[in-house]
Structure 1
């Protein structure tokens, strides 16, 4: 088993060691985003949307989960989506950027 070098990371899918700047894992073919600045969705924006506008599902639309966003819109009058959105916003903001991307965006 080889050791990971300074310019290498583990593939989030198969765990194989790949170059940090590699776009695709040569072992499993899964796209690798590389450094933090290369991510599609910002966890801070998603967290603020969830806390302030969570009752309307804005954070779900932002993350590309349209079905869940529509569900939030349908039930916004019950205030339950607002409470859930507030909790989700706190969860988004307390996770690391990599953890957020892996769990909520990919």
Structure 2
């Protein structure tokens, strides 16, 4: 796996590593949308999932497991939903939200971005 430098980004369609200033991916030819705000929290994984959105879901709606459904972990989402009357999913969801915020973009893409 290649590491992304500060002057590179992932293609929104094929996930290839391209220049951060590229308007069109040289590999697949898809026009790249501009990043909504600076920093790597606004970047999307190749499948369209956002690390920032997942973290916010986990922090604010973690007791219902919304972040698990968003990340494609439906089984875990159901477990969180069944246990939402306890405080345990809320605490775990808050911790997972913090972990998602400090997780690197490469780790997020590897774990949740390719399905």
Question: What is the TM-score with the length of structure 2 in the denominator?
Answer: 0.61
Moved more, 45-54 or 91-100: 91-100
Q: Equivalent of 1:47, from 47, 50, 55?
A: 55
Partner of 1:58: 66
- 1:88: which partner in 2? 96
CA contact (8 A) 2:45 2:109 kept: no
Which residue matches 1:70?
Answer: 78
Q: What SS does the aligned partner of 2:68 have?
A: helix
Equivalent of 1:104, from 80, 98, 112?
112
Q: SS state of the match for residue 69, structure 1?
A: helix
Greater Rg over alpha carbons, structure = 1
CA–CA distance in structure 2, aligned partners of residues 63 and 33 of structure 1: 17
